Amino acid sequence: MSRVYNFSAGPAVLPEEVLKEAADEMLDYRGTGMSVMEMSHRSKAFEEIITTAEQDLRDLMGIPDNYKVLFLQGGASQQFAMIPMNLMKNRAADYIITGQWAKKAAKEAEKYGKVNRVASSEDKTFSYIPDCSDLPISEDADYVYICENNTIYGTKFKELPNTKGKTLVADVSSCFLSEPVDVTKYGVIYGGVQKNIGPAGVVIVIIREDLITEDVLPGTPTMLTYKTHADANSLYNTPPAYGIYICGKVFKWIKAMGGLEAMKERNEKKAKVLYDFLDQSKLFKGTVVKEDRSLMNVPFVTGDADLDAKFVKEAKEAGLENLKGHRTVGGMRASIYNAMPYEGVVALVDFMKKFEEENL
């Protein structure tokens, strides 16, 4: 068996310890004589899995009691609709457009009400985060929406926008659990887990209780109403049980690593190796302004599409996989999520140095 360094943006690398544990428990989960995939979601064993997972996530993020944690399906993309369906009481919301995912979310929300795009960084191919300290927040906005870490462009909000008292909703798919977070600053924090937490198929929604109501837009399906899932502790219907089980193991792994403070330190150390190299390289260039660089997704280019393709191909041959940039931007992107070891980033930088010497 040989494992590669996997720089995929998602689904992405998972901690090896977690995969090994899951393998050990595959045929007989703790004396139940069956795998977690085969057991009832109403069983005692699964109840413990989901309750423990929720508690560990609450401990890690310091989630206050007046927030619910929901384990849902449909990916982050389903939240693009679920958020307006549940939150747009005035049928108005403000969106900050920092990339494709925020753009898609805004477009979807337009099906349900008035969407004000109060800031955007599209003028410079989303290579920065706009100044959000004094935005023209709409009087009647039900919420202000951001994509906190832009997976495709490699930017991250280092400071949350001033929402002037409006509820903040954040898509944290690609920075979930990468650093400590003050949950009280948000109304809704959500993300698909396949970037930084677990396998595809689970989306976690952390939502303040006062935002969970029966007063949703007319025609909202039962399954797309937050209250349905909040009232049933994410067991209204069959949840993505195996995915939740793996997420639970990743929460334990992060706890054992020292929690989110330790994750942040580790992620900063990893990102620094790569950014420091990019800053002095004569061949490779980072594409994001320094202040807004993501710790998780690092896009870079050589400026020559053929050379980029050569790099991606040779990197793969060297065991460094999935370094091709998003199809809409080209170039390269290294996603260095929580589970990417420091050694993986060092191996990438060593390879980049060698490639630079050979191709400059």
Q: What is the number of alpha carbons within 13 Å of residue 105 lying toward its C-beta?
A: 31
Residues in contact with ligand PLP by the rule CB under 6 A: 10, 75-77, 101, 147, 151, 171, 173-174, 192, 195
Query: Least distance in Å: CB of 355 to ligand PLP?
Result: 27
Q: DSSP string covering 98-131, please?
A: -SHHHHHHHHHHTTTSEEEEEEE-GGGTT-S---
Query: Least distance in Å: CB of 354 to ligand PLP?
Result: 30
Q: DSSP string covering 282-327, please?
A: SS-EE-S-GGGB-SSEEEEE-S-HHHHHHHHHHHHHTTEE--BPPT
Active site residue 142: no
**Cβ proximity to ligand PLP, 77 vs 281, nearer residue:** 77
Instruction: Please pick, among 56, 101, 249, 252, the residue that the annotation labels catalytic.
Output: 101
For the chain, report the end-to-end CA distance as a whole number of angstroms: 35
Active site residue 270: no
**Cβ proximity to ligand PLP, 49 vs 146, nearer residue:** 146
Instruction: Please pick, among 142, 171, 292, 308, the residue that the annotation labels catalytic.
Output: 171
Instruction: Please pick, among 195, 249, 252, 324, the residue that the annotation labels catalytic.
Output: 195
**Cβ proximity to ligand PLP, 77 vs 233, nearer residue:** 77
**Cβ proximity to ligand PLP, 138 vs 178, nearer residue:** 178
Tell me the residue nearest to ligand PLP as measured from the CB. 75
Q: What are the tokens at 320?
A: 């460094």
Query: Least distance in Å: CB of 106 to ligand PLP?
Result: 12
Query: Least distance in Å: CB of 296 to ligand PLP?
Result: 9
- Rounded Cα gap, residues 340 and 316, in angstroms: 16
Q: Which of 43, 18, 23, 20 minimizes the C-alpha distance to 32? A: 43
Active site residue 253: no
Angle between the N-to-C axes of helices 259-280 and 44-61, in degrees from 0 to 180, rounded to the nearest 10: 60
Query: Active-site positions?
Result: 101, 171, 195
